[in-house]
A and B are shown apart, each in its own frame.
Chain A
Amino acid sequence: MSLALVNSILAAKETVSGSVSIIGYGLGTLGPGIGIGFLVGKTVEGISRQPEAAGAVRPLMFIGLALVEALALFGFALAFVVS
């Protein structure tokens, strides 16, 4: 990290106020967001290629959705716990 960047971060520390854990939560949503995008997109693709498979694909999508979402929700819970 360059010295200028370190200096600017230190300067920001003086003026920026609020909860850092909210920034952590914001970062934590990025991965699950991309994951849910992939998941639902692939499900739509699969169903449109083979509409009769919709019944089999949809429950799997919800299970995957729940697993992917867990990371964002951990971030949400930890944003409250670590204040």
Chain B
Amino acid sequence: MTVLAQREGFQAPGIEEFEWPNLVDLHLFGIDLGINRVVLQMFLVALVVWLLFFLAFRTPKLAPAGLQNVMESLVDFIRNQIVLENIGPDGLRFLPYLTTLFVFIFFGNLGGVLPLISFPLNGRMALPAIMAISSLLLFISVGISQQGFLHYFRNALFPPGVPAPIYILLTPIELVSTFIVRPVTLAIRLLANMIAGHLILSVFFVATGYMLTSMNISTLFGVGALLFAVALVAFELFVAGLQAYVFTILSAVYIAGALEPEH
């Protein structure tokens, strides 16, 4: 690709793919609250998710059919595979939160492979960061309400069953890994997967168009690149589901860790 770039002037798409100008300028207290394409897409995703659940469960039937069937199996999957598997029956009260996370992240990621939209919502840091922070606040508050303030932080920072001098090493590690690395990795994992997927798709499709229209030997390679690009769209679809699953299951694991203290 770089050889091509130097000789022919092929411009590979870069990180500037993720910069969108404000459509509506709005500044409050020095914070940029302008509405750009990504914000519009976020509203669209929220509307679509709301409509899906509203239409599916507006008149719930005992024998589900059609949309109700699809949405019920989705909620059932999160209930059985994520909540009951990782937290247990005690965690069913977190099912609404985890379902929201899963569905919103999945539909946000889905934008990356849909034609005409072709932008993954979670390719901007704001949304993953907000969701990771809300998961962090949730598991901290669950820990405090379940075990009490002092007890929770003593269990989290000074795990029992360790010789006292080890705490000099262990406590800073636990502090960083539980309260900083957990939310940061949650957010960055989702963000980086979406950025990487979107960049690869853009590079492949732009390069395919360039090679197909170049009318020399590269046209042959362009056909191969086009086939591979289509396969990559399928792969990105898989990644969109996998990242939603991973974000949700890790949130569930963190909540489970706060619910029952380690012995």
Contact = CB atoms under 8 A, between A and B. Distances in A.
A70 B86 contact: no
Nearest to B253: A63
Interface in A24-83: 59, 62-63, 65-67, 69-70, 73-74, 76-77, 80
Task: Give the contact-size bracket for chain B.
Answer: 10 to 19
A71 B86 CA distance: 24
B42 interface: no
The majority secondary structure among interface residues of chain B is: helix
B192 A66 contact: no
Contacts of A67: 185
B81 A59 contact: yes
Interface in B152-194: 185, 188-189, 191-193
A66 B192 CA distance: 12
Task: Give the contact-size bracket for chain A.
Answer: 10 to 19
Interface in B184-218: 185, 188-189, 191-193, 195-196
Contacts of B185: 67, 70, 74
B131 interface: no
B188 A74 contact: yes
Given A59-B81, A59-B85, A70-B185, A77 B191 contact: yes
Contacts of A70: 185, 188-189
Interface string B244-255: 011001100100
B188 A63 contact: no
A57 to B, nearest CB: 12
A76 B81 CA distance: 30
A79 B246 CA distance: 23
User: Residue among A65, A74, A77 with the most chain B CB within 10 A?
Assistant: A77
Contacts of B82: 59
B3 interface: no
Contacts of A76: 192, 195-196
A7 B40 CA distance: 55
A80 B81 CA distance: 35
A4 to B, nearest CB: 29
Contacts of B81: 59
Nearest to B250: A66
A26 to B, nearest CB: 14
B15 interface: yes
A70 B250 CA distance: 12
B246 A73 contact: no
Contacts of B193: 73
Interface of B: 15, 81-82, 85-86, 185, 188-189, 191-193, 195-196, 242, 245-246, 249-250, 253
20 contacts: A59-B82, A62-B242, A62-B245, A62-B246, A62-B249, A63-B246, A63-B249, A63-B250, A66-B189, A66-B249, A69-B189, A70-B185, A70-B188, A70-B189, A73-B188, A73-B193, A74-B188, A74-B192, A77-B195, A80-B15
